[in-house]
Amino acid sequence: MDTVNISSLWNQACEHLQDALHIDVYSRWIAVITPVRVEKETLFLGVDNDFYQSWLEEHYLPLICDALRAVSGKDWNIAFTVNPVDLFTHAEAQPSPKQPPPKTLRERLLPRRQDQRLPLNPKYTMSTFVVGPPNSFAHAAALAVSEAPAKAYNPLFIYGGTGLGKTHLMQAIGHSVSEKNRSHTICYVTCETLLNEYIDALQKRSITDFRKRYRNVDLLLIDDIHFLSGKERIQEEFFHTFNALFDAHKQIIMTSDRPASEINGLEQRLVSRFEWGLVTELEKPDFETRLAILRFKQREMELSVDETVLTFIAENVRSNVRRLEGALVRAVSFMSLTQQPLTLDALKRLLRDTIEEEQQAEISLSAIQKAVAAHYDIRLADMSSTSRPRSIAVPRQVAMYLCRSLTQSSLPDIATAFDKTHATVIHACRTIQNRMDVDQTLRRQVQDISTKLGKSAHSLQQTI
Ligand code: ADP
Ligand code: MG
């Protein structure tokens, strides 16, 4: 085969490969290959260094063979050869073996895009995230991902309760990556927006654009992924987006209010993918961290607030950082309006509602399920399983009863949390309530669990 034929064979194969691969993968790994010569059944392909050679051999050889077979109708052996280096003109520019590949043309030419396309909150950066024991692991993971996107942990899955800093930490990674890699395309989206855009795209028949938008990014940040719960079509779509990005070595970061395995109605294949990389929890801040956050925010606001005020807030507002901030802002606004220092009594009056709410802070359904599972030493998954042995059925009924008794959640919400019907929850509540009247052991168990959840036995109410 002469040279012209080699190039046309290779060009046709490239068209195939372009369709099969992510644009970045194609331009980084395939567009740089030059066809060199043919000897019998072997096609020699030139690459710039042995790093490319080993990478291509490990990752893309079967795809290249498939493409060649498709366009020529026969099987080819592929041999990579390293192009000779032009020492005079390119000596410095040649990447040494094992170094990351050079930037693609796309990376060099495209302007920074993230500023227009994503509304990252400028305040949510690494430097404004206060680190303490309850969030230090998640913070370390976030730093590792921003240092080496798609290499350290992919995907990164951050979960934790409301107002504990998930969005802040996720966006901080976005800022960090965008500062270090100016050409990277970063996309931040809440899962709810993603769903709305998907529905819109289905209606307008613009699903290809939708896919392009999310599959051609370097860093995809999806906030509140638990929103996928029970929504089958978007799960299917997201599954493919996830795979496309993951295969192209793009970083995916997700936040959720609970671990993936506890998101009801989330397909198993997504659960397992979400757990492929690193799963990390943001826990409720302890007293020291709460105080450190308040001190930090106060410095940021350039106001001096008495330490006793900060300590009082840190002691009394425990549930989440958003509330902590809210309490500080109230205190500070009061001081600036009245132009007076704030006494402890005035502060108590000012924060009365917040403190009351804190005291009655809703326990989450999943916290109840966890506490009951731990008490009876059964698996959390048994809470929503269909198995019926008594050793599992009774704890499950206890958990349903406690959900009804200790929270304001509706029967349908409780039913969903246990993957059961509304009628099953009513039956469970009745059964436990009646049995507690005659069975002291059960009554004590239920009371113990509520105490562990921070509720007194008096909080247990008639449920049905
Ligand atoms: P979530 O997404 O978990 O509901 P957010 O990320 O929206 O929580 O955080 C709520 C508020 O608390 C934000 O204003 C955020 O800046 C602040 N915040 C949370 N954690 C921290 C932290 N460790 N340091 C400083 N501010 C924090
Ligand atoms: Mg959030």
Which is higher by pLDDT, 198 or 56?
A: 198
- Residue 91 included in any domain: no
pLDDT band at residue 207 under the 50/70/90 scheme: very high
The preferred substitution site among 120, 227, 321, 323 for testing ligand 1, maximizing ligand atoms within 8 Å of CB, is 321
Alpha carbon nearest to ligand 1 atom 25, residue: 129
* Torsion from C-alpha of 263, 264, 267, 271, nearest 10 degrees: 20
Q: Within this chain, do residues 134 and 277 fall inside the same structural domain, yes or no?
A: yes
130 has pLDDT over 70: yes
**SS3 for 8?**
helix
Give the span between the Cα atoms of 27 and 103, in whole angstroms: 10
The residues that bridge with 81 in the sheet, in sequence order, are 46
Measured from the CB, is residue 135 less than 6 Å from ligand 1?
yes
Cβ–Cβ < 8 Å for 85, 94 = yes
> Residue 226 has what pLDDT?
95
CATH number of the domain residue 147 falls in = 3.40.50.300
- Residue 112 included in any domain: no
285 CA closest ligand 1 atom index: 23
> Residue 461 has what pLDDT?
61
| Interval 219-259: pLDDT, tens | 999 999 999 999 999 999 999 999 999 999 999 999 999 88
Using a pLDDT cut of 90, give the percent of the chain over it: 52
Alpha carbon nearest to ligand 1 atom 4, residue: 163
- The strands making up 156-159's β-sheet, listed across from edge to edge, are 186-190, 219-223, 251-256, 156-159, 278-281
**Which ligand number lies closest to the CA of residue 125?**
1
Give the span between the Cα atoms of 366 and 363, in whole angstroms: 8
> Residue 240 has what pLDDT?
96
**Which ligand number lies closest to the CA of residue 295?**
1
Cβ–Cβ < 8 Å for 263, 272 = no
Give, as residue ranges, everything with CB less than 5 Å from ion ligand 2: 166-167
**Which ligand number lies closest to the CA of residue 281?**
1
CATH number of the domain residue 73 falls in = 3.30.300.180
- The single-letter code of the amino acid at 34 is T
Alpha carbon nearest to ligand 1 atom 20, residue: 165
Using a pLDDT cut of 70, give the percent of the chain over it: 87
The residues that bridge with 223 in the sheet, in sequence order, are 190
The preferred substitution site among 123, 157, 167, 168 for testing ligand 1, maximizing ligand atoms within 8 Å of CB, is 168
Q: Within this chain, do residues 25 and 154 fall inside the same structural domain, yes or no?
A: no
| Interval 335-393: pLDDT, tens | 878 888 888 999 999 999 888 888 766 678 989 999 999 999 999 999 988 878 888 99
Q: Within this chain, do residues 340 and 383 fall inside the same structural domain, yes or no?
A: no
The domain boundary, picked from 30, 63, 86, lies at: 86
Q: Which domain holds residue 447?
A: 365-459
| Interval 323-350: pLDDT, tens | 999 999 888 888 878 888 888 999 999 9
Compute the distance from residue 250 Cα to the ligand 1 centre, in Å: 26
pLDDT band at residue 193 under the 50/70/90 scheme: very high
Which is higher by pLDDT, 85 or 84?
A: 84
pLDDT band at residue 262 under the 50/70/90 scheme: confident
- Residue 207 included in any domain: yes
Cβ–Cβ < 8 Å for 372, 418 = no
Segment 141-152 mean pLDDT: 94
> Residue 92 has what pLDDT?
31
255 CA closest ligand 1 atom index: 2
Q: Which of 77-91, 102-116, 198-212, 413-427 has the lowest mean pLDDT?
A: 102-116
The domain boundary, picked from 305, 340, 360, lies at: 360
Measured from the CB, is residue 134 less than 6 Å from ligand 1?
no
Q: Within this chain, do residues 175 and 215 fall inside the same structural domain, yes or no?
A: yes
**SS3 for 64?**
helix
Alpha carbon nearest to ligand 1 atom 9, residue: 165
Alpha carbon nearest to ligand 1 atom 21, residue: 165
Q: Within this chain, do residues 351 and 374 fall inside the same structural domain, yes or no?
A: no
Compute the distance from residue 437 Cα to the ligand 1 centre, in Å: 44
pLDDT band at residue 89 under the 50/70/90 scheme: very low
Measured from the CB, is residue 241 less than 6 Å from ligand 1?
no
Compute the distance from residue 429 Cα to the ligand 2 centre, in Å: 33
Q: Within this chain, do residues 319 and 305 fall inside the same structural domain, yes or no?
A: yes
Alpha carbon nearest to ligand 1 atom 6, residue: 165
> Residue 362 has what pLDDT?
63
Segment 148-164 mean pLDDT: 93
**Considering its fold, how many domains does the chain have in total?**
4
Measured from the CB, is residue 162 less than 6 Å from ligand 1?
yes
> Residue 212 has what pLDDT?
93
Cβ–Cβ < 8 Å for 140, 191 = no
Segment 145-162 mean pLDDT: 94
> Residue 113 has what pLDDT?
40
170 CA closest ligand 1 atom index: 6
The domain boundary, picked from 86, 108, 136, lies at: 86
Cβ–Cβ < 8 Å for 369, 396 = no
85 has pLDDT over 50: no
- Residue 119 included in any domain: no
> Residue 419 has what pLDDT?
92
Q: Within this chain, do residues 60 and 171 fall inside the same structural domain, yes or no?
A: no
Which is higher by pLDDT, 145 or 51?
A: 145
> Residue 249 has what pLDDT?
95
CATH number of the domain residue 412 falls in = 1.10.1750.10
Segment 60-67 mean pLDDT: 87
> Residue 111 has what pLDDT?
36
115 has pLDDT over 60: no
**Which ligand number lies closest to the CA of residue 171?**
1
Q: Within this chain, do residues 31 and 152 fall inside the same structural domain, yes or no?
A: no
Measured from the CB, is residue 165 less than 6 Å from ligand 1?
yes
Q: Within this chain, do residues 302 and 340 fall inside the same structural domain, yes or no?
A: yes
Segment 298-312 mean pLDDT: 88
Measured from the CB, is residue 195 less than 6 Å from ligand 1?
no
pLDDT band at residue 52 under the 50/70/90 scheme: low
Q: Within this chain, do residues 243 and 165 fall inside the same structural domain, yes or no?
A: yes
41 has pLDDT over 50: yes
> Residue 86 has what pLDDT?
31
Q: Within this chain, do residues 275 and 130 fall inside the same structural domain, yes or no?
A: yes
Q: Within this chain, do residues 14 and 56 fall inside the same structural domain, yes or no?
A: yes
Q: Which of 341, 261, 345, 264 is nearest to 303 (CA)?
A: 341
Segment 132-157 mean pLDDT: 95
Measured from the CB, is residue 168 less than 6 Å from ligand 1?
yes
- Residue 74 included in any domain: yes
Measured from the CB, is residue 166 less than 6 Å from ligand 1?
yes
- Residue 67 included in any domain: yes
**Which ligand number lies closest to the CA of residue 135?**
1
Alpha helices in 148-250 (DSSP H): 166-180, 191-203, 207-215, 232-247
**SS3 for 219?**
strand
Segment 385-405 mean pLDDT: 90
Cβ–Cβ < 8 Å for 156, 277 = yes
CATH number of the domain residue 350 falls in = 1.10.8.60
160 CA closest ligand 1 atom index: 3
The residues that bridge with 46 in the sheet, in sequence order, are 34, 81
- Residue 102 included in any domain: no
94 has pLDDT over 60: no
- Residue 188 included in any domain: yes
Measured from the CB, is residue 293 less than 6 Å from ligand 1?
yes
